[in-house]
Structure 1
Amino acid sequence: MTDKHLGELMRQCATATPFGRLAVVEQQAVFDWLIGGEHITRTGKALERPRLMPVEIARTTDGQPIYAPDADLSPTETVIMK
Structure 2
Amino acid sequence: MWKNLSVEESQRLARENAKDIISCDFDISKTFIFSDFDYVGGAFYKNMVKVARCVTYNKVLGIFGFTGEDHIGKVSFPRVQV
Higher strand share: 1
Bigger Rg over Cα: 1
Instruction: Return the TM-score normalized by structure 1.
Output: 0.23
Structure with the higher helix share, 1 or 2: 2
> Which of the pair has the greater relative contact order for Cα pairs under 8 Å at 6+ separation?
1
What's the TM-score once normalised by structure 2's chain length? 0.23
